[in-house]
């Protein structure tokens, strides 16, 4: 199956949005805004850890 | 995307990355300890203990502070007095001249409540200073800044072209697929794509704000020739001051002009950040945003009266905002740890890119382009 641009970029777009919110959030205020920044910028790190460590799913990309 | 377009983008990605990779690796490696510079410095050079105040404690007199600072440093002049954000600590920076050279001055910290001096800070040097110089100007001054800024621009081009070549690569792959159990190259190709796309916004923002920070000196010159010159125009033809008047009065004036702000830095007359006739008192606000957007109150250094107080122009505010977004020092220790982890990811991203290029550098371009299409699986199967 060949994917279109939307299928390819929907997850990256979501990550970019979260990262953008994270970067701006801690500038706006402290407390809750800091928490939002840690979450927004922490999600890509968690995703990388999961993708790197999980066993290859059968059929994926074959 | 036509094969020709893809080929162009691939070559942009390859060459912008190749030219900048070693310098970007240097920036990532030296940047890692710099994220924690505050914590590291406080560990090795703890802040002085602040004694509790009682009724007999003296109240600070800034003119007396300056006089004592100068008495301890014969032949020097005061360039700046600056204040810590979270503690009642100030410091006097003095040097043989009002303007650099020399770049660095002598720093004498004091209790901002009583004016009592602490041990002066040792002259800059050591590991963290080396990291800072390698990260900012490579000991070369302005040319060094601009060179590293150019490397940052190459990084931006590399990121954009990387996203473009990511699309054809992923047409047959699920997002975040890492194919292990086949070739090492395929695994690292997948990881390189994943690391790059997942951290794209952060790397882009740190890259662009880094480039803006390399322009600090030109931006300063622009402000001196623009807004600062405009605000101090009536003083232009007056002779320079023999010695400035009361700093204490100037600080009181600035505080009255901006009651809900705090003093961050005072630039003495004749220094880089002021005119010949003014104390430039830079005030900071109370939120993470406004504490970066310094606002200068220009106080006549002779009379102690307020001359002018304005928002900084857009290019200076852009520089001020670029600093936290580059340093990651605006969301507590957890944000610094996240910054460090993202920095490590960037190092792996650079390293994997180099590895992928080394493995294919002798292969014909067509073969390398074929690898981009459909995630390189067809190519692997053919081997």
Domain extents in chain B: 3-39+131-213+333-382
Placement of tokens 């303007």 in the chain: B99
Element (H, E) at B89: strand B89-95
For residue B30, which of B151, B121, B196 has the smallest C-alpha distance?
B151
Interface of chain A against chain B, CB under 8 Å?
Answer: 1-3, 5, 8-12, 15-16, 19-20, 23, 25-30, 33-34, 37-38, 41-42, 44-45, 47-48, 50-52, 55-56, 60-62
The pLDDT of residue B73 = 95
The pLDDT of residue A58 = 53
How confident is the model over A30-58, as a mean pLDDT?
89
Extract the tokens encoding B316.
């200076």
How confident is the model over B15-37, as a mean pLDDT?
97
* Strand order from edge to edge, sheet including B295-300: B106-111, B89-95, B77-83, B262-267, B278-284, B295-300, B306-309
Query: Residue B370 above 90 pLDDT?
Result: no
Question: Rounded to an integer, what distance in angstroms lies between the CA atom of residue B205 and that of residue B211?
Answer: 10
The pLDDT of residue B181 = 82
Q: Do B288 and A26 touch (CB under 8 A)?
A: yes
What are the angstrom distances between the C-alpha of B185 and each of B173, B288, B355?
16, 44, 9
The pLDDT of residue A21 = 97
Predicted ipTM? 0.91
Residue A3 C-alpha, separation from nearest chain B C-alpha, in angstroms:
5
**Nearest CB to B331 within list A20, A26, A52:** A26
Query: Residue B123 above 90 pLDDT?
Result: no
How confident is the model over B186-202, as a mean pLDDT?
96
For chain B, positions 324-353, list CB contacts with chain A under 8 A.
324-325, 330-332, 334-335, 338, 341-342, 345
Nearest CA in chain B to A43: B198
**Nearest CB to B331 within list A15, A37, A47:** A37
Query: Residue B229 above 70 pLDDT?
Result: yes
For residue B191, which of B348, B73, B59 has the smallest C-alpha distance?
B348
A4 falls in which pLDDT band (50, 70, 90)? confident
* Cβ pair B298, B275 in contact under 8 A: yes
- Return the sign of the alpha-carbon dihedral for residues B357, B362, B363, B365: positive
Question: Rounded to an integer, what distance in angstroms lies between the CA atom of residue B131 and that of residue B238?
Answer: 43
Residues facing B266 on adjacent strands: B81, B281
Question: Rounded to an integer, what distance in angstroms lies between the CA atom of residue B124 and that of residue B105?
Answer: 9
Nearest CA in chain A to B335: A38
Nearest CA in chain A to B346: A45
For chain B, positions 239-268, list CB contacts with chain A under 8 A.
none
The pLDDT of residue B380 = 53
The pLDDT of residue A1 = 60
Beta-strand ranges (E) seen in B268-323 are 278-284, 295-300, 306-309
Q: Do B200 and A12 touch (CB under 8 A)?
A: yes
**Nearest CB to A16 within list B167, B181, B201:** B201
The pLDDT of residue B331 = 93
Q: Do B170 and A41 touch (CB under 8 A)?
A: no
Q: Which chain B residues are within 8 Å of A2, Cβ to Cβ?
A: 171-172
B363 falls in which pLDDT band (50, 70, 90)? confident
Element (H, E) at B195: helix B184-198
How confident is the model over B132-152, as a mean pLDDT?
97
The pLDDT of residue B49 = 80
How confident is the model over B202-210, as a mean pLDDT?
98
How confident is the model over A40-49, as a mean pLDDT?
96
Q: Which chain B residues are within 8 Å of A25, Cβ to Cβ?
A: 331
The pLDDT of residue A60 = 46
* Three-class secondary structure assignment of B92-103: EEEECCCCCCCC
Query: Residue B90 above 70 pLDDT?
Result: yes
């Amino acid at each position: 199956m060949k994917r279109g641009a939307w299928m390819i970029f929907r997850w990256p777009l979501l990550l970019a949005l979260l990262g953008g919110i994270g970067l701006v959030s801690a500038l706006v205020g402290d407390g809750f805004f800091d928490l939002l920044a840690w979450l927004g910028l922490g999600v890509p790190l968690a995703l990388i850890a999961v993708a790197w460590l999980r066993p290859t799913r059968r059929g994926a990309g074959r | 995307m036509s094969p020709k377009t893809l080929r162009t983008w691939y070559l942009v990605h390859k060459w912008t990355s190749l030219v900048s990779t070693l310098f970007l690796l240097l920036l990532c490696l030296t940047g890692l300890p710099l994220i924690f510079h505050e914590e590291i410095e406080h560990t090795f050079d703890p802040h002085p203990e602040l004694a509790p105040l009682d009724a007999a404690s003296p109240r600070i007199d800034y003119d007396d502070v300056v006089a004592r600072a100068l008495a301890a440093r014969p032949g020097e002049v005061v360039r700046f007095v600056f204040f810590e954000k979270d503690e009642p600590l100030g410091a006097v920076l003095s040097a043989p001249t009002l303007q650099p050279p020399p770049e660095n001055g002598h720093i004498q910290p004091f209790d901002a409540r009583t004016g009592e001096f602490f041990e002066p800070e040792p002259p800059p040097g050591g590991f963290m200073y080396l990291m800072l110089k390698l990260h900012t100007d490579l000991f070369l001054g302005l040319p060094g800044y601009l060179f590293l800024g150019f490397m940052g621009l190459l990084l931006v081009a590399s990121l954009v072209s990387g996203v473009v070549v990511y699309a054809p690569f992923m047409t047959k792959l699920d997002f975040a697929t890492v194919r292990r159990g086949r070739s090492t190259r395929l695994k690292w190709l997948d990881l390189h794509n994943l690391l790059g796309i997942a951290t794209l916004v952060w790397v882009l923002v740190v890259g662009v704000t880094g480039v803006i920070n390399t322009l600090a000196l030109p931006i300063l010159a622009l402000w001196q020739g623009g807004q600062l010159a405009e605000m101090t125009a009536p003083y232009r033809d007056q002779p320079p001051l023999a010695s400035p008047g009361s700093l204490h009065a100037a600080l009181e004036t600035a505080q009255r002009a901006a009651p809900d702000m705090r003093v961050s830095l005072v630039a003495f007359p004749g220094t880089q950040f002021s005119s010949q006739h003014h104390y430039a008192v830079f005030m900071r606000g109370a939120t993470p945003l406004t504490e970066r957007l310094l606002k200068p109150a220009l106080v006549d250094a002779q009379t102690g009266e307020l001359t002018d107080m304005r928002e900084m122009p857009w290019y200076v505010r852009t520089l001020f905002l670029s600093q936290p977004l580059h340093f990651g020092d605006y969301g507590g220790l957890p944000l610094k740890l996240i910054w460090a982890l993202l920095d490590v990811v960037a190092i792996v991203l650079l390293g994997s890119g180099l590895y992928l290029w080394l493995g294919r550098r002798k292969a014909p371009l067509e073969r390398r382009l074929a690898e981009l299409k459909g995630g390189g699986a067809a190519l692997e199967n053919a081997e």
